[in-house]
Amino acid sequence: MAIDIVVTADAEAAAAAAAALLADAAAAGGSIVVAGGSTPRRAYELAAELNGDWGDAEVWFGDDRCVPASDLRSNQLLVHEALLERLIVPPTVHAIPTGLPPESAAALYDAALTGEPLDLVLLGLGPDGHTASLFPDAPSLDVRDRLAVAAEPGLEPFVRRITLTIPALESGRHVVFLAVGEGKAPAVRHAFAEEPSRAIPASLVRALRGRTTVILDEAAASLLDRA
Ligand code: 6PG
């Protein structure tokens, strides 16, 4: 399955490239799945500057940690601070109900997502090749009949997670990975230049019927063979 790899000079340019896609999807009134972690923060800030009116858009979460929305580990907190609070007109936000028991939260999110077309799915990449909260060799990689599940953490923060499953992520019309920094270079090579493997969950996630784009800075792309 073909993927487009976009290599930018530095992390700021990578964030700007992702921000443009986010802002355009929001302007088109799309359903956007946002990523957690630290990498997308700058992209969210720039996207809010590019387009302050997300009134026709819907925002979903690719995953979240089972902590209160005020907890520094919460992806919901990240997205509120870096994006939602900076908008003039906010989108419809579908937060993962992380205050509920994980299995209940996952079941509710699975039901909410059912039948919802996803236009832009933004994903990060962990140094171990995980994406969303789909960790290496985890049982969640085999789930094909649900769009969201509870998951055990494979990396810090070691709190339980709710994550979209591969069927949910691959349904996206445009799947976009954003990864920067030399620390991600091995995972980038495994995920996007080698055979798919359960050891590298990001290698298993591609848009099934749409486009897959990988946005990297030079450092994260440094182990790719680029003719
Ligand atoms: C999360 C993210 C996760 C993240 C990677 C990379 O909840 O942590 O969804 O998949 O994208 O762990 O995180 P960094 O951007 O912090 O390196």
Domains of the chain in start order, with CATH, are 4-226 (3.40.50.1360)
10-residue mean pLDDT profile of the chain (227 residues): values are 94 98 98 98 98 98 97 97 98 97 98 98 98 98 98 93 98 98 98 98 98 98 90
Q: Are 65 and 161 in contact (CB under 8 A)?
A: yes
What's residue 1's pLDDT?
72
Q: Are 75 and 63 in contact (CB under 8 A)?
A: yes
Burial 162-183 (b: 16+ CB within 10 A, else e): bbbbbebbbbbbbbbbbbbbee
What's residue 52's pLDDT?
98
Rounded distance from Cα 132 to ligand 1 centre (Å): 7
What's residue 166's pLDDT?
98
Helices (DSSP H) in 28-122: which residue ranges? 40-50, 75-82, 102-113
Neighbouring C-beta atoms of residue 78, cutoff 10 Å = 21
What's residue 59's pLDDT?
98
- The binding-site residues of ligand 1, defined as CB within 6 angstroms of any ligand atom, are 35-39, 62-63, 75, 124-126, 130-133
Q: For the chain, how many residues are written?
A: 227
Backbone angles phi, psi at 159, to 5 degrees: -125, 155
CA atoms within 13 A on the CB side of 131: 34
Give pLDDT tens digits for 100-119.
999 999 999 999 999 999 99
Both tokens of 106, joined, read 């996952």
Look at the pTM and tell me if it is higher than 0.95.
yes
- Residue nearest ligand 1's atom 5 by CA: 126
